[in-house]
A and B are shown apart, each in its own frame.
Chain A
């Protein structure tokens, strides 16, 4: 019995130690994080690994730039499963250890060829990309992306993105659709340099609807290599006047080689909190 308690004590203290500061590390089984977790270097959730992050946790990325490329090197890289379960009053914070929270202080939470990703009530700040999702089914809800180069970035994924705030990033949402499909709805995308940046290979399989996209340098800006016209119907662009809305959308009107962004019908009024109905099942 005593040995058992000693074992428990050892196991608990070891877990606590690991949960405090992580350097280069691979997660290959199920692991739960809560409280403050420091990451210095790369932490990878491998194929069979599962990371669950509890409400109120703070994941703090140390500001290091070993390769001197101006982008912090600390990151969380997920190839397995990640479940981030914040709550409205206890969000999970992904941030840097410096006070300024300048963009690119840390690299990103990267979900790539992963099994599944779920983020609810998370905050991403001061990163190169707050969250990147590629080749993965992912749900991102009720979260805040602020002061990053790219707030939320995705490609080739099945995504549901609902009721998030993207603000003060270079790009609120940046995406290369490729074979993605999904829905982006009820998000507030404001005061970014570019609200939404469809870079290339976008084909309208991701439905952007019921979003408030306003007060950005450009609300939407099409990438130079995007070929197909794109549809952003039923969104609110900060005004009802079409001429004003068109000024905030960088497309064929600015450069004849670019495709057209179709916005009609536009919402005449912003979507309010009471309008938000995120899908339970996706």
Chain B
């Protein structure tokens, strides 16, 4: 026990610089514990990993405010919200005003919406720090724009129940020539 503690201590404190310099960066994506959010986040994760080689990890949260807190504190880098969740925080339905509000209040940046129809939208939201580290990320995520309407996501959820999320996501992205 003592030996393990000692090793842990040494790994963390003596060689931290070495260790962290070389595995590469990891992007953490937060999502709500719903099938739809899970599938969209998995699509995002797979796209980023396959196209950039960057490791991506998913973190599940029970409610939207926990996700905002996690993003503000740096626990996650990226998440996806729809207009309903956004308006529950900013009390503003309009996209541009909500965007500015999130930027000021939470230091979070709205990317281009994945889906936009009248006043309804789904938008990837990213930490400013993450954007500095991965400046090309928005361009990559934009490739999903328009590809995930509710009907498609619903089909993907059904498909994932039968075949597993990994294969479903992979096949979806392949069918769009995105990976």
Contacts and interface: CB of A to CB of B under 8 A. Distances in A.
B15 A71 contact: no
Interface in A142-199: 171, 174, 197, 199
B12 to A, nearest CB: 7
A67 B178 CA distance: 32
B18 A73 contact: no
Contact of A199 (B8, B18, B52, B140): B52
B69 interface: no
Contacts of B10: 23-24, 41
B7 A23 contact: yes
Contacts of B136: 224-225
Contacts of B150: none
Contacts of A132: 22
Contacts of B179: 250
B59 interface: no
Size bracket, chain B contacts: 20 to 34
24 contacts: A23-B3, A24-B7, A24-B15, A40-B7, A41-B7, A41-B10, A42-B15, A42-B18, A66-B11, A67-B12, A69-B26, A71-B23, A77-B15, A108-B22, A112-B21, A132-B22, A171-B53, A174-B53, A223-B53, A225-B136, A250-B179, A254-B177, A255-B143, A255-B178
Given A44-B18, A77-B15, A128-B23, 20 more contacts: A23-B10, A24-B11, A24-B15, A41-B10, A42-B11, A42-B18, A66-B7, A69-B26, A69-B57, A77-B18, A107-B23, A110-B22, A112-B21, A112-B22, A174-B53, A197-B53, A199-B53, A224-B139, A225-B136, A257-B139
